[in-house]
Chain A
Amino acid sequence: MLRFVIRRGLQLFIAMFVLSVLLFVWLRSLPGGPVTALLGERGTPESTAALREALGLDEPLHVQYLRFLQRALEGDFGISNGVLRGAEAIDVFLTRLPATIELSIFALLIAVTLAIPLGYVAARRHGSALDTGSVIGSLVGVAVPVFFLAFVLKYFFAIRWGLLPPSGRQSVSIDATHVTGFFVLDGILTGEWDAAWDSFRHLILPAIALSSIPFAVIFRINRASVLDVLDEDYVRTARAKGLQAPVVRQRHVMRNALIPVVTTIGLQIGALLAGAVLTETVFNFQGIGQALALGFETRDYPVLQVLIMMAALIYIIVNLLVDIAYAVIDPRVRTR
């Protein structure tokens, strides 16, 4: 077991190193750069050259990379020059991480509370109109571009009907104390109920838009997995034994069917982050996704580097945890 963990840890290290090289080269191969982003049409040959020099962009790529690596190993990821100028890039990540986590959790909650019951019902009535309808419905969710769904939700709920705030994380009029950076949690912790409620209302629309991605996947997996389990011998045996239907469902069907569902949820992080870029941009939600889009626009290399590396790290670690959990359950995996 220990060797398995060590080996995967080593793989993680190598993966991060390779990613950092690729990322570094990719960013600098993008057309344009931070210099033009900062100077705009005011750039002159002199100011452009001076800025390139000051930012260290005039040096050969490998020199730049080695300097970046050396600093990164000391925990210094550079200074933002676009998203939040003058701030440590890592601080941009840390300030914005809670927003994205908060949004993702709400999106997952919505997806799970809808998809699991629906998937179960659809599977139980396999082939019925309800089943067909919900399958088509979940696929509609796949077919609607996330940013368009976000636009439509905002247009109707915020603009036309004025029911919910159109964008942002918290109203300006709310004078809230931030403890953790999770605004809803902050409101609850400090007892500022109006702040918690206000932040919650800001979360609803983006969370619904973002939930369309995991919803379809969770629904599909859950439906398939319930179908599989319903067919298993132990369920038939349980039924044959004369166990009551609710007991069979709870103890045998749902419990076993949920195992693949739970791992699926863990693996939705990548997709959620991709969706967050679009959703957060539309809803001006100050999270990682919006910072990625802004950083890209302004060619903020340090911020992009730290955001993508950290997102990848989180993604890989979650995968690793899922794998380890599997290895604990199923010894065959370890020897592979």
Chain B
Amino acid sequence: MINRKVAAIAGATVLALVLTSCASDRDGDDTNTGTDDGSGGGDTGGGASDATFVFGAAGAPASFDPFYASDGETFRITRQIYDNLIEYEEGGAAPGPGLAESWESSEDGLTWTFALREGVTFHDGTEFNAEAVCANFERWFNQNEVGQNAAVSYYWAADFGGFAGDGTDSLYDSCEATDDLTAVVTVTRVTSKFPTILGQAAYGIASPAALEEFNANDVAAEGEGFVFPAFATENPTGSGAFIFDSYDEANGTITLVRNEDYWGESAGVAELVFRIIPDENTRRQELEAGTIQGYDLPNPVDWAALEEAGNNVQVRPAFNILYLGLNPTTMPALTDDRVRQALYHAINREQLVASQLPEGAEVATQMMPSAVAGYNTELTAFEYSPELAQQLLADAGMSDLAIDLWYPTEVTRPYMPDPQRIYDSIRADWEAVGITVNPVAKPWNGGYLDGVQQDQAPAFFLGWTGDYDSAANFIGTFFESPENNFATHEYTWGQQLSDGLRAADSEPDEATREGLYEQLNADLMEYLPALAISHSPPAIVVAGNVEGLVPSPLTAENFATITITE
């Protein structure tokens, strides 16, 4: 009889365990958000609430020093800890006051005077002043050999282009504290990007005392990776609305607490927790279970269901571009203008946008979204005409054109929620005009980007999300160097385009500059190094009881405005 008893006991034990855990869940459930005792939130939005906001992050941050980062997961966290000299307006991309209340440039556009905010202190209690601003600039400029690596200080290398003693021209020249609250920054050349770039998360202003104490610049490369100093890993110190508390690596959570002495309105929640959940499905399930209160980039497929379940899907304005890049390196036929035009005419972008992209997506008329200065309002969408496409191909003697169309797998981007579906749609359009399409599908990190950057892909999907409001950040990034993903150096107009972009960027007068960019956008639609497809709005979702989140087109949300209601 023992055998039966053993089986019965074993079965009963397991059952009991499951049942008891279910039963106790009822009382455990409502404590997990901390909202039950956080009654102070709501309309008053004051700092009285002791609620916790838990956000589902898609990946681990690189460190907590934004200067050494280039990824959204890191910036989402550091943005809450640091303030910038310039902050982009809430819900927009235009530069506005931050730690600098105002700024003005000299006639020649080389000297910039920042009037700083008074009464700001860093998290370590030290005072924010002009000396601190200059200390930050000097810190950025004076990097060691590893810090100068374009992959480590990505944004500085991209925006300022050089470091102290590396022999190259840097945009940065000097910084001087003329009085306690006035910092004068001198740059070496005129560029449309300055000082707008200073609003990017990478240029968060840190406490000079902490930078020094925790050896912020001691970044090192060893063992096929980078080792960051204590400042970046344990002691990030800014002046933002939240103070870094802890990073629990074993459990994958990062905890920030409210800065009670914040110079502005203090944060609506007492604790801000980022929980790392790499799988998107799981993020959604956690939101439904109430264990997180928000996550970024929900799959458009889930938007309706999420709303229905009482969550708040906040759609950001589309500040991105999806394009179909063409590269003639392996396919010389593409240098024929008629072939590129035919490929473009054949694509039914209206249908693509309606059936494959989320609501609010738009057909692109040029290589950047309408919110960016320099957008050419006179351009209209490239005409969809299969007949014209066939005619052009016949004229070019390419009626039997065959093309390798590359698309990435294992990835979703804000501008490209489902690459495979977009590929399907374009393949069908091209096949309809008699083009033979050979699919080349590669994992994003597993050969796709490599292939595109090494000129192996004659036709590929790629895109860009803007860092700030500047045409230089869009078409400048794509084409300013003729050695780009589109191999524009193969075309007769390649060098001219690059020169034009450089000239526009260094034009100090805003109106003239915008005119130059408008013309460049029109030119690009003539040249067609890439076929602009669409602008697609990315979303961020928060639970129904979360209020005050302002969606940002730059996907740069400030979590201090959030409050949690009952």
Query: Which residues of A approach B to under 8 Å, CB–CB?
Result: 30-48, 50-51, 53-57, 71, 76-81, 83-89, 95-96, 98-99, 110, 113-114, 117-118, 120-121, 124, 154, 158-159, 161-173, 178, 181, 183, 197-198, 200-201, 204, 246, 249-250, 281-284, 286, 290, 294, 297-299, 301-302
B383 to chain A, nearest CB (A): 28
A85 to B60, Cβ gap below 8 A? Answer: yes
Provided the pairs A80-B225, A158-B289, A165-B291 are in contact, do residues A50 and B52 lie with their beta carbons within 8 angstroms? no
Question: In whole Å, how far is B322's beta carbon from the nearest beta carbon of chain A?
Answer: 11
**A163's closest neighbor in chain B, by CB?**
B22
Residues of B within 8 A of A197 (CB): 24
Would you call the interface of chain B mostly helix, strand, loop, or mixed? mixed
Chain A: minimal CB distance from B280 (Å): 11
Find out whether the CB atom of B25 lies under 8 angstroms from the CB atom of A86. no
CA distance A132 to B172 in the complex (A): 79
Query: Shortest beta-carbon distance, B291 to chain A, in Å?
Result: 6
Q: From A79, A98, A172, A290, give the contact of B54 (CB < 8 A).
A: A172
Q: Is residue B285 contacting chain A, with contact meaning CB distance below 8 A?
A: yes
Complex alpha-carbon distance, A158 and B243, angstroms: 33
Residue B188 lies at the interface, judged by CB distance under 8 Å to chain A: no
Q: CA of A294 to CA of B445 in the docked complex: distance in angstroms? A: 12
Q: Cβ of B228: which chain A residues have Cβ within 8 Å of it?
A: 86
A166 and B483 within 8 A (CB): no
Contact B285 A158 (CB under 8 A): yes
Asked whether B277 is an interface residue with its Cβ less than 8 Å from the other chain, the reply is yes
A81 touching B224 in the complex, CB below 8 Å, given contacts A32-B443, A284-B277: yes
Which segment, of B132-140, B146-154, B343-351, B398-406, faces chain A?
B146-154
Contact B31 A173 (CB under 8 A): yes
Say whether, besides A113-B14, A297-B445, A41 and B462 are in contact (CB < 8 Å): yes
B29 touches A32 (CB 8 A): no
Contact of B331 with A by CB under 8 A: no
Q: Is B464 located at the chain interface by the 8 A CB criterion?
A: yes
Return 8 A-B CB contacts under 8 Å, by A number: A32-B450, A39-B70, A45-B483, A46-B150, A50-B149, A55-B225, A169-B251, A249-B2
Chain A CB within 8 A of B304 CB: no
Q: Which of A32, A41, A201 contacts B25 (CB 8 A)?
A: A201
- Bound CA–CA A42/B277 (angstroms): 24
Are A77 and B289 CB-contacts (below 8 A) given A39-B151, A50-B150, A249-B2? no
Q: B250 near A99 (CB under 8 angstroms)? A: yes
Complex: how many Å from CA A96 to CA B60? 14
- Assess whether A48 is in contact with B22, with CB atoms less than 8 Å apart: no
Interface-facing stretch out of B3-11, B259-267, B332-340: B3-11
Q: A159-B289, A165-B289 are in contact. Are A41 and B464 (CB under 8 A)?
A: yes
User: Nearest Cβ distance between residue A32 and chain B, in whole angstroms?
Assistant: 4
B223 touches A249 (CB 8 A): no
- Could you tell me if A32 and B462 are in contact, using CB atoms closer than 8 angstroms? no
Given contacts A55-B225, A79-B226, A81-B225, contact A282 B449 (CB under 8 A): no
Q: Of B54, B223, B447, which one neighbours A77 at CB under 8 angstroms?
A: B223
| Smallest CB separation, B363 vs chain A (Å) | 21
Chain A residues within 8 Å of B29, by CB: 162
Closest to A96 in B: B250
Given contacts A95-B249, A118-B7, whether A38 and B31 have CB atoms under 8 Å apart is no
Min CB distance A156 to B, Å, is: 12
> Which residues of B from 1 to 56 have beta carbons under 8 Å from A?
1-4, 6-7, 10-11, 13-14, 17-18, 21-22, 24-25, 28-29, 31-34, 52, 54
A172 touches B52 (CB 8 A): yes
Give Cα A201–Cα B543 distance, bound, in whole angstroms.
24
A46 to B443, CA, bound (A): 23
Name the CB-closest residue of B to A181.
B250
| Cα distance A87–B221 in the bound complex, in angstroms | 12
Contacts A45-B453, A173-B33, A297-B410; A32 near B447 (Cβ below 8 A): yes
CB distance from B557 to the nearest CB of A (A): 20
Q: Chain A residues near B222 (CB, 8 Å)?
A: 78-79
Q: Which residues of B contact A167 (CB under 8 A)?
A: 277, 279, 282, 285-286
Q: Please, how many angstroms separate the alpha-carbon atoms of A87 and B234 in the complex?
A: 12
Complex contacts, A33 vs chain B, CB 8 Å: 450
Distance between Cα atoms of A299 and B445 in the complex (Å)? 8
Of B71, B158, B250, which is in contact with the most chain A CB atoms at under 10 Å from its CB? B250
Report whether B227 and A164 are in contact in the complex, using a CB–CB cutoff of 8 Å.
Answer: no
* CB <8 Å contact, A42 and B253: no
Shortest Cβ gap from A185 to chain B (Å): 13
B125 contacts the other chain (CB 8 A): no
Q: Once bound together, how far apart are the Cα atoms of A150 and B146, in whole Å?
A: 43
Closest to B247 in A: A84
CA A258 to CA B71, docked complex, whole Å: 54
